[in-house]
Amino acid sequence: MTTALITHTDCLAHVTPPGHPEQVARLDSILAALAPLQLPLTQAPLAAEDDILRAHPAAHLQTIREAAPDEGWRSLDADTHMSVGTLQAAFRSAGGAVKAVDMVMAGQAQNAFVATRPPGHHAERETAMGFCFFGNVAIAAKHALDHHGLSRVAIVDFDVHHGNGTQDLVEDDARILFCSTHQMPLYPGTGHAHETGVGNVLNVPLPDGAGSKAFRAAMETHVLPRVAAHKPELLLISAGFDAHAHDPLAGMMLTEDDFAWATTKICDLAEEHAGGRVVSCLEGGYDLEALGRSAYAHAKVLKERSNG
């Protein structure tokens, strides 16, 4: 088996206003960086409405559809903007995450990296925010449980920003463990250690300036043991690379080696509990060079583990 790379050119048609950090060039940079790995490419399908409705109410889906502009941009908040191509791209991002689950569960790939945009981990049940419209990784988790009959899945989010949307979408479902390392204080202001859901949420906030030592200690002391105790049958990753030292939107000091290390540790747990099944969904990362290097380091580990 191998590592599936799931993407779609529609994700390049989500055009944000000039100067916006969540820009088309992010995906261009990632795909260029991943080219040497020669991962087999799968086109991200449009998400089925039923899959989105596993995580969001119909009213939210209707709001996003009605907000889609015929020209120019429409702003849902100060950070979150829709262009003519955004709605289609958002459906591809959610659909790509679901497709990745289907491929991994069917044994068509050992693991998968969903390189799509817009990202998803800030999208709450009825609120698009933080560049996000649908909760892609939460949608994928719920699909794995409901469609593939799994009993336990885990999401590990190492984006520098707390995945408030993912937490909102899964915190009442004990089948889904959500673990997040993130800088605090920082947007969106959630992710305190006392936010525990129904016992299925683990937040490990880290201070501005935290580097490799603090991040790895948080993973080894808190996140990895908690995931192991949950014994997930599938591991999902919210792969944000904006905790990199060069990223302009935050203050953590990680390098691409830290992302490779974290990916290795997550794959170890997947091999122990989930038959090696891992689905990774792109979230943040806004320095284009650092983003490309980090995505390459992440996907290289996935490829090495899929061939192992």
Are 24 and 131 a contacting pair, CB within 8 Å? no
Q: Is 60 a catalytic residue?
A: no
Choice among 122, 244, 273, 298 that is catalytic: 122
Nearest to 153 by CA among 97, 209, 205: 97
Distances (CA, A) of 125 to 53, 121, 132, 147: 10, 11, 12, 20
Q: How far apart are the first and last CA of the chain?
A: 9
Chain position carrying tokens 């088996």: 1
The SS3 assignment for 154 reads: strand
Are 134 and 52 a contacting pair, CB within 8 Å? yes
What is the token pair recorded at 238?
A: 């919210």
Nearest to 250 by CA among 208, 216, 289: 208
Are 152 and 177 a contacting pair, CB within 8 Å? yes
Q: What proportions of the chain, in percent to the nearest 5, are helix, strand and coil?
A: 40, 15, 40
Catalytic residues: 122
